[in-house]
């Protein structure tokens, strides 16, 4: 089954009781049993819910995995994975990553005796320099948020295997439309489902997908025990959103390419970060592991000040100034004061998150209108 067909059909069946082609919203907390333990596979909706179950099956199929788990947010999904770790364990993470992930790592789990290393991973030698018998998790974002760096997933997987560590890939920016990390050797894929998978800026959710039976069993236990699950209404919205994922992502990619190339020619722009450029440091890796280059673009201004960035951020009309990304509408954001504000300034700047850095989530509007909007904002 090819990808576009999977988005609409994989893991889904018409409702057996009515024939409804859309998965119903099973808005229930509990299920009647014929006798103690004699039920139809559902006992309590924290543990299992038919709407959520359908979405989890669909996500697993899209990522070429066996097991999908949904959570109340992307951070809840990461939190579940980190609960597998013990005091004394070490995590090697890319240094260029979402600020919320950094905050969870350093402000929550570090105090439980888990050691985190943050290194640039465009060159995998930074991982091998730190990997040891205590390394239990390698955390990868690719493309990274917001610098659009590319990390070699297959190469990182080989290192993880050598040290008997898990490789987890945050696949939020790429989605399974562009890359499937499990096929490249990753153990777990994480999504902020809020973004491209939902696709319409109307739901908050996270997900994990895995292939290994034993790993999935541990994750399902933690999902149920900690209980950070989404409700059936949200699951229904994401199932509906995923049905157009392939055509939305195609347009995101088309518009992203045109806007990245246009920004490159603008006199006030110092640098554009987009993995589709031949001069991107890991462009060849991106070509190898991705099917296209996505709709996320970031750029810095020649005048590297927050004031200069604000002049652009407050003058767009179609690009809405807002947190998040991946919706059908275009968004513009300022990582230093928004998505990455929880990372100390000197740490941010080491990765390239300067005061003038602006991040675009390029939507699926008419690209000529989007360019006109940016042109007016750049003056």
Could you tell me the pLDDT band of residue 3, with boundaries at 50, 70 and 90?
very high
Pick the catalytic residue from 15, 31, 42, 46: 46
Q: What is the pLDDT of residue 37?
A: 85
195 is catalytic: yes
Pick the catalytic residue from 6, 96, 98, 136: 98
Q: What is the pLDDT of residue 342?
A: 87
Lowest mean pLDDT among 33-47, 66-80, 243-257: 33-47
- The 10s digit of each residue's pLDDT in 303-356 is 999 999 999 999 999 999 999 999 999 999 999 999 898 889 999 999 999 999
% of residues, the chain, pLDDT over 70: 100
Pick the catalytic residue from 195, 211, 348, 359: 195
46 is catalytic: yes
Q: Quick one: three-class SS letters along the chain?
A: CCHHHHHHHCCCCCCCCCCCCCCCCCCCCECCCCECCECCCCCECCCCCHHHHHHHHHHHHHCCCCEEEEECCHHHHHHHHHCCCCCCCEEEEECCCCHHHHHHHHHHHHHHCCEEEEECCCCCHHHHCCCCCCEEEEEEECCCCCCCCCCCHHHHHHHHHHCCCEEEEECCCCHHHHCCHHHHCCCEEEEECCCCCCCCCCCCCEEEEECCHHHHHHHHHHHHHHCCCCCHHHHHHHHHHHCCHHHHHHHHHHHHHHHHHHHCCCCCEEEEECCCCCCCCCHHHHHHHCCCCCCEEEEEECCCCHHHHHHHHCCCCCCEECCCCCCCCCEEECCCCCCCCCCCHHHHHHCCCCCCCEEEECCCCCHHHHHHHHHHHHC
- The 10s digit of each residue's pLDDT in 285-299 is 999 999 999 999 999
15 is catalytic: no
Could you tell me the pLDDT band of residue 59, with boundaries at 50, 70 and 90?
very high
Domains of the chain and any CATH numbers: 3-242 (3.40.640.10), 246-378 (3.90.1150.10)
> How many angstroms separate the CA atoms of 122 and 125, rounded?
9
- The 10s digit of each residue's pLDDT in 112-130 is 999 999 999 999 999 999 9
Average pLDDT over residues 196-220: 98
Q: What is the pLDDT of residue 142?
A: 98
Give the chain's mean pLDDT.
Answer: 97
Q: What is the pLDDT of residue 257?
A: 98
Pick the catalytic residue from 152, 170, 292, 373: 170
Average pLDDT over residues 217-236: 98
- The 10s digit of each residue's pLDDT in 132-165 is 999 999 999 999 999 999 999 999 999 999 999 9
Whether the ω angle into residue 253 lies within 30 degrees of 0, i.e. cis, is no
Check whether 38 has a pLDDT greater than 90.
Answer: no
Check whether 40 has a pLDDT greater than 90.
Answer: no
109 is catalytic: no
């Amino acid at each position: 089954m090819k990808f576009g067909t999977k988005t609409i059909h994989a893991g889904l069946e018409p409702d057996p009781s009515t024939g409804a082609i859309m998965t119903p919203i099973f808005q229930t907390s509990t299920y009647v049993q014929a006798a103690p333990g004699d039920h139809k596979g559902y006992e309590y909706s924290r543990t299992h819910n038919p709407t959520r179950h359908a979405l989890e099956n669909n996500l697993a199929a899209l990522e070429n995995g066996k097991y999908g788990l949904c959570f109340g947010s992307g951070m809840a999904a990461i939190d579940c994975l980190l609960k597998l770790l013990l005091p004394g364990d070490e995590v090697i993470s890319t240094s260029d990553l979402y600020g919320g992930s950094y905050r969870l790592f350093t402000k929550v789990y570090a105090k439980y005796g888990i050691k985190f290393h943050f290194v640039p991973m465009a060159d995998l030698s930074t991982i091998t320099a730190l990997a040891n018998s205590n390394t239990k998790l390698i955390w990868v974002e690719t493309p990274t948020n917001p610098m659009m760096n590319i990390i070699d997933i297959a190469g990182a997987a080989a290192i993880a295997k050598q040290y008997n560590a898990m490789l987890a890939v945050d696949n939020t920016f790429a989605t399974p439309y562009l890359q499937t990390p499990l096929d490249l050797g990753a153990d777990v894929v994480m999504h902020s489902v809020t973004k491209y998978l939902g696709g319409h800026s109307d739901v908050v959710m996270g997900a994990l997908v895995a292939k290994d039976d034993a790993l999935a069993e541990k994750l399902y236990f933690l999902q149920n025990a900690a209980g950070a699950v989404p409700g059936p209404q949200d699951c229904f919205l994401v199932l509906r959103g995923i049905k157009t994922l392939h055509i939305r992502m195609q347009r995101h990619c088309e518009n992203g390419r045109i806007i990245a190339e246009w920004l490159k020619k603008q006199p006030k722009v110092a640098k554009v970060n987009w993995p589709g450029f031949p001069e991107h440091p890991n462009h060849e890796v991106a070509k190898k592991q991705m099917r296209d280059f996505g709709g996320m673009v970031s750029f810095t201004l020649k005048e590297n000040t927050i004031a200069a960035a604000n002049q652009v951020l407050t003058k767009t009309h179609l690009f809405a100034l807002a947190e998040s990304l991946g919706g059908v509408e275009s968004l513009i954001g300022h990582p230093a004061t928004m998505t990455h504000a929880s990372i100390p300034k000197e740490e941010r700047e080491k990765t390239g998150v300067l005061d003038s850095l602006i991040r675009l989530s390029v939507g699926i509007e008419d690209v000529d209108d989007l360019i006109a909007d940016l042109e007016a904002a750049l003056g």
